[in-house]
Structure 1
Amino acid sequence: MLLLVDAGNTRIKWALVDAAGRDGLGCWRTFGSISHAETGTLAQAWRGMEIARALLSNVAGAALRGSLEAALAAAGLQPTQIGWFASVPQLGGVRNGYRNPAQLGCDRFASVIGAHALFPRQALIVATCGTATTVDALSPDGVFLGGMILPGLGLMAGALAKNTAQLPQVAETAAVAQAFADNTDDAIVAGCIAAQAGAIERAVAAHALQHPAVQCVLAGGAAAYIAPQLHVAHKTVDNLVLIGLQVAALGAADTSC
C-alpha cells in the first residue's frame, strides 16, 4: 500500500491507495483527518497496514515534520520508504512556471497536479480555501502560470474583529444569506466572503482573456462557504492535495472509483 499525507497548517489528512496504481484518483482504501494536536495517534492508525512507501506534503514546519517522521518510524517504515514531496520544474504533467520553481508551496503544486489530472486539457483556476486562500492559474497544456495568495476566510474575519474596536469575533463557519447584512456579525462575514469570491472571480476573468473556456476548481475546508457566493461556474473537489500526491507517485489512473 502507498500512504499519502497532506500536512496542512490546520489539519493532517492521509489516505492509503494501492501501490500499483490500480485505484482511481481520489479513491482511497482508508482515509483519515486529524488536528495537529492528534498527531500522536497516527502511529497506531498506520501500524499493521502493510505500507510499502509513503509520500508526504508538509507546509506546517520542521516540528510537525519531526512528529510525522516519528509516527512513520513507529509504524515500521524505514527512511528509504519515505518521500517528502517538493516543488520541482516539472512533474505529473505540470510544468512549474514559478520564477524559482522550488519556492512554490508544495501543497499548491500538488493541488494543480491533481486538478490537471482530473480536468485534462482545460484551462484551470484552482482555488484552495484553507488557512490561506490560494488562487492559481494553469494552461490547458499543463503550464502553471502563477497565482495569488490572500488570507483565508477565518484569518480575514479574525483580523477584522481583532483590530477593529468593538467588533465581535466572528467564526468562519457563519452563514451569509445576502450581500448587504443588517447586523455587524453578518456584515463581517458577508464582506469576507465577498472578498474571497471576488478574488476567485477576478482570476477566472483574467485567465479567460487568453483561454475562453476556464474551469474553476475549488478545494479546502472553507470552499463550502465560498462556493454558494460565486457567480462563475465551478466544481468542488475534496482532498485535492492528496489526489496530486497520488498522481505524482503513481501517474494518472482511471478517475472512476
Structure 2
Amino acid sequence: MNLALDFGNTFTKAGLFKENELVEVIRLTDQVEIDKIITDFNPEHVIVSSVNQSIEDIQSRLNDVAVTILSPDLPLPFKINYKTPQTLGLDRIAAVAGAQGIFPDTNCLVIDTGTCFTYDIIDNKSTYHGGGISPGISLRFRALHNFTANLPLIEFEKDVPLVGQSTKESILSGVVNGAIAEIQEIIRMYSDKFGHLQIIICGGDAKFFENKLKASIFVAPELVLRGLNRILLYNV
C-alpha cells in the first residue's frame, strides 16, 4: 500500500493506492489524523507534497515509514522545460504527472480550478513546457470586496445570469462568466499552438466547469493524488 499526502492551499488530502489503483481518498482536518492512517493502513511507501506545511513537522510523524518528498529535484517521469524549475508549484508537477499517466504520448493541457486557476501543458514527447496562473473563483470574489469601497463579498453560486440586474448578480456574472470565457479562450490559444490537445480539468470547481465549456473535457478530481503516486512509483 502506498500513501500520497497532498497539503494544498485549501485542503489536505490523503490517497491510498495499491500500485496504480486509487483505493481510498481521505480529507484531513488535522495532522494527528496522519498517525491514524499510518496505524490503520501501514503503508509501505509515502510521498508528500506540501505548499503550506513544514516538511520537518510532517516527517516527524512518519519516522518509521519510507518517505519521498516531492520537489523539482526529484526524478520525474517527464522532462521540465521551465526557466525557474525551483519555483514551480508542486501541485502543478503532480497534476502533470497524473495527466501523463492517464493519457501517455498525448499533448495534455491540465487546468486546475482550485484556489488559483493553473494551466499546464505537457507534450506528446513527455516535455513539460509551463503554463499560466490566474486567480480562482473565490479569490476573484474576495478581491472585488477587499479592494473596493462598496462591493459586497459574494459566495459562489452555480445559477449565474449573463445580465446582472443587481450588484450581487452583476458580480456573479462578471466573475463566473468571465472565468468561463477565460478558460475557453486559453484552451483555444493552446490548441492553436500545440495542435490536438487532451483537456484535463481538476480542482474544487472542476465539475461546474465541465458542463460550461465547449471543448471536450476529461474531469479528474483526484489528479494531483494520482500524479503523486505515479511519481512515487517512478522513484521506488
**Which 5+ residue runs of structure 2 have no aligned equivalent?**
none
Whole-angstrom CA distance in 1 between matches of 2:159 and 2:120: 25
Whole-angstrom CA distance in 2 between matches of 1:83 and 1:171: 38
Aligned residues, how many?
234
Pick from 43, 51, 60 the counterpart of residue 43 of structure 2: 51
- Secondary structure in 1 matching 2:211: helix
The residue correspondences of 1:144-183 to structure 2 (distance < 5 A) are: 144-172=128-156, 174-183=157-166
Q: Which amino acid aligns with 2:15?
A: A
Whole-angstrom CA distance in 2 between matches of 1:97 and 1:197: 28
Whole-angstrom CA distance in 2 between matches of 1:68 and 1:48: 18
The residue correspondences of 1:113-124 to structure 2 (distance < 5 A) are: 113-124=97-108
1:66 CA drift (Å): 4.1
- Secondary structure in 2 matching 1:167: coil
1:60 aligns with 2:52: yes
TM-score by length of 1: 0.83
Q: Which residue of 1 aligns with 2:91?
A: 107
Q: Percent identity?
A: 24
Pick from 125, 137, 143 the counterpart of residue 109 of structure 2: 125
Q: Which amino acid aligns with 2:150?
A: Q
Contact 2:111–2:119 (Cα < 8 Å) also in 1: yes
Q: Which amino acid aligns with 2:72?
A: S
Pick from 180, 186, 193 the counterpart of residue 197 of structure 1: 180
Pick from 203, 207, 226 the counterpart of residue 224 of structure 1: 207
1:43 CA drift (Å): 1.3
Q: Which residue of 2 aligns with 1:39?
A: 31
1:90 CA drift (Å): 6.0
1:121-170 deviation per Cα after TM superposition (whole angstroms, max 9, x unaligned): 22221111111111112212221111111111111111112222222211
Whole-angstrom CA distance in 1 between matches of 2:88 and 2:179: 21
Q: Which amino acid aligns with 2:188?
A: A
**Which consecutive aligned stretches of 4+ in structure 1 deviate over 4 angstroms post-superposition?**
none
1:89 CA drift (Å): 8.2
Q: Are the structure 2 counterparts of residues 188 and 34 from structure 1 closer, same or farther at C-alpha, using a change threshold of 3 Å?
A: farther
Q: Are the structure 2 counterparts of residues 122 and 82 from structure 1 closer, same or farther at C-alpha, using a change threshold of 3 Å?
A: same
**Which 5+ residue runs of structure 1 have no aligned equivalent?**
252-257
Contact 1:175–1:189 (Cα < 8 Å) also in 2: no
Whole-angstrom CA distance in 1 between matches of 2:28 and 2:168: 29
Contact 1:133–1:152 (Cα < 8 Å) also in 2: yes
TM-score by length of 2: 0.90
Whole-angstrom CA distance in 2 between matches of 1:226 and 1:215: 16
Question: 42-51 vs 229-238, which deviates more?
Answer: 42-51
The residue correspondences of 1:16-95 to structure 2 (distance < 5 A) are: 16-18=16-18, 21=19, 23-24=20-21, 27-28=22-23, 30-35=24-29, 38-62=30-54, 65-73=55-63, 77-78=64-65, 81-88=66-73, 91-92=76-77, 94-95=78-79
Whole-angstrom CA distance in 2 between matches of 1:226 and 1:48: 36
Whole-angstrom CA distance in 2 between matches of 1:199 and 1:60: 28
Q: Are the structure 2 counterparts of residues 162 and 109 from structure 1 closer, same or farther at C-alpha, using a change threshold of 3 Å?
A: same
